[in-house]
Amino acid sequence: MIKNFKIFESNTKLKKGNYVICKELTNGYDEDEKAAQEFIESNVGQYIMFDRTADNKFGIKYENVPSQLEDHFFDIQDGIDGIRWMMRDEIIHYSKNKEDLEVLFDVKKYNL
């Protein structure tokens, strides 16, 4: 059974509120940082803000960050936590629908 992936049918630009899959370009400097990178690569985040003062980085919010990894994510002044700053090159897929991106994890998991 073949499904259409609407995520790839659109050439729209990344917009605030879009859901994203990221892959950091830097290597983890310790085991906790490597675990944080694995968390990022295996979870869908949401683009919530852009910061020109942070070298044009995108603020990506992640839900349910494990307590042992919380030190590798940031809080911002509005009480929003679970933020990781990413460069545009590190955002590899995005969609307005979270479910579209979750399908990509299934494809990878089952090697389809």
Task: Choose among 72, 69, 62, 58: nearest CA to 16.
Answer: 58
The Cα–Cα gap between 19 and 47 comes to: 6
Q: How confident is the model at residue 14 (pLDDT cuts 50, 70, 90)?
A: very high
Residue 99: count other Cβ atoms within 10 Å of its Cβ. Answer: 10
Q: What is the pLDDT of residue 87?
A: 94
Starting at the edge strand that comes first in sequence, how are the strands of the sheet with 80-86 ordered?
74-76, 80-86, 57-61, 45-51, 19-22, 91-95
DSSP state of 14: P
Residue ranges per structural domain of the chain: 15-109
Q: What is the pLDDT of residue 5?
A: 52
Stated pTM of the model: 0.82
Greater model confidence, 94 or 79: 94
Q: What is the pLDDT of residue 7?
A: 47
